[in-house]
Structure 1
């Protein structure tokens, strides 16, 4: 297999690198970085597979290696300027966190739980909350963020976060006051 890039392959690498940099809209990487990574990955592939002769297979492998190399570089890069708010958002969640039963319940086979029904009622009540309130509770209880940190992440005031927190807890308490909430949800 020829390790030298053809003019068509070089043009493809250049065009793809420019497209990735354009859509990335970040100065953390440039087209030359991507082109170098793709060329190196292709050279390494050619070294590992010197006896490959089928042109169609070589072409498919070329596209896979080039795209994979560029995606790896982009995935490992980060924006040049990262604000504190952006850092907090990256540490927390990009999208509001919703509670799933499989994630919340950690019950081992054969264990006895006296409060199983109460726990299921709490989970069902959490699922009924709006996503923003679920996110606030998750950040507060699971991640141990303060209300100030949560306010920075959501880009709202601290009083808005505390009101939403209190509203969520009140909604859960109200739901738990209803008898056998979990059983009602299972029958639907």
Structure 2
């Protein structure tokens, strides 16, 4: 566990999540940001329900949004002694989907700018879906993460390469 209970959005995340995400009747981004991180209690309740393991807490996650089915997007606090903005962004879906979608907040901003939400980055259920570049989110990424600019495919590939055992790690916690 990373010793932090800071539940304030970093400025870059707050700027990105203040913008609208257009689902566009299934042809857009399926992401509903929260106005703040879930509380420690809410996060623990969710993580225990998701895993079926009441011995766990949610201290290693900062949940900041969901898809339409209730899957959560969160920072995974796995890097000791690193600030929140340098922690990976993960998705834990309502149907058991898991994925590390970005290695840090800067990469996540470019993922959003490229027209992907956490669900779209973690799953491949909609083969005909085409992402649409989001100019407003690109402006946020340019403002806060100029040095991290990359394509959504590169963002996901780097995150997956850095954390190849995320799914196994989470599934080992399930009962």
Calculate the TM-score normalised by the size of structure 1.
Answer: 0.28
Give the structure with the larger strand fraction. Answer: 2
Bigger relative CO (Cα 8 Å, ≥ 6 apart):
2
Calculate the TM-score normalised by the size of structure 2.
Answer: 0.29
Flag the structure with larger Rg.
1
Give the structure with the larger helix fraction. Answer: 1
